[in-house]
Homo-oligomer: A and B are copies of this chain.
Amino acid sequence: MNTRPDMDFLSRSKSLSYPNFSFDITHKDPSSRARLGRMETPHGGFDTPNFIFCGTKASIKGLHPHQVKEAGADFILANTYHLMIQPGADIVEKMGGLHKFMNWQGPILTDSGGFQIYSMGEGVNADEIKCRNNKTTRKQSLTKITEEGAAFRSYKDGSPLFLSPESAMEIQRKLGADFVVQLDECTAMHVSEQYTEDSMHMSHRWGDRSLKAFEEKDNGAQAIYGVVQGGVFQNLREESSAYTASRPFFGTALGGTFGGNFDQFFEIVSWCMPHIEQNRPVHLLGIGTFRDVFECVRLGIDTFDCVSPTRIARHGWALMKGAPSERLNLLNSKYKNDQDPLCPELGIAASSQYSKGYIHHLFKAKESLGGQILAQHNIAVMSCLLKDIRSSIQEGTLDALQKEWIPD
A355 pairs with B101, CB closer than 8 A: yes
Query: Are A337 and B91 closer than 8 Å at their CB atoms?
Result: yes
Asked if A63 is at the interface (CB within 8 A of a chain B CB), the reply is yes
Enumerate chain B residues within 8 angstroms of A82, measured Cβ to Cβ. Answer: 365
Report if A38 contacts B (CB, 8 A). no
Interface range for A: 35 or more
Who on chain B is nearest to A354 by CB? B103
A87 lies within 8 A of chain B by Cβ:
yes
CB distance from A16 to the nearest CB of B (A): 32
Q: Which of A26-34, A223-231, A366-374, A388-396 interfaces with chain B?
A: A366-374
A71 CB, min distance to chain B CBs, angstroms: 13
A362 to B102, alpha carbons, bound, how many Å?
10
Q: Could you say how many copies of this chain the assembly holds?
A: 2
Assuming the A-B contacts A87-B364, A103-B353, A364-B86, are A369 and B63 also in contact, with contact meaning beta carbons closer than 8 angstroms in the complex? yes
Residues of B within 8 Å of A101, CB to CB, are 355, 357-358, 361
Q: Is the CB of B62 within 8 A of A349?
A: no
- Residues in B with CB closer than 8 Å to A337 are 91, 94-95
Cα-based distance from A357 to B102 in the complex (angstroms): 10
Chain B: which residue is nearest A353 at the CB level? B103
Task: Give per-residue flags for A365-388: 1 if the beta carbon is below 8 A from chain B beta carbons, else 0.
Answer: 101110111000000000000000
Contact, CB under 8 Å: A369 / B64: yes
Report B-chain residues with C-beta under 8 Å of the C-beta of A232: none
Q: Is the C-beta of A190 less than 8 angstroms from some C-beta in chain B? A: no
How distant is A209 from chain B, measured CB to nearest CB, in Å?
29
Task: Let me know if A355 and B64 touch, CB within 8 A.
Answer: no
A144 within 8 Å of B by Cβ?
no
A336-B64 in contact (CB<8A): no
Q: How far is the CB of A403 from chain B (nearest CB, A)?
A: 34
- Residues 49-89 of A at the B interface (beta carbon under 8 Å): 57-59, 61-64, 66, 82, 86-87
Q: CA A103 – CA B364 in complex, angstroms?
A: 18
- Residues A62 and B369 in contact in the complex (CB < 8 Å), given A95-B358, A101-B355, A336-B91: yes
In the bound complex, CA of A102 to CA of B369 (Å):
11
Complex partner residue of A349 from B64, B96, B368, CB under 8 angstroms: B64
Looking across the interface, which residue of chain B has its beta carbon closest to that of A376?
A: B64
The reply to whether A58 and B91 form a contact with Cβ atoms under 8 Å apart is no
Any B CB within 8 A of the CB of A339: yes
Contacts of A336 in B (CB 8 A): 87, 91
Q: Which residues of B contact A371 (CB under 8 A)?
A: 368
Give the chain B neighbours of A364 by CB distance below 8 A: 86-87
**Chain A residues with a Cβ under 8 A of chain B:** 57-59, 61-64, 66, 82, 86-87, 91, 94-96, 101-103, 336-337, 339, 349, 353-355, 357-358, 360-362, 364-365, 367-369, 371-373
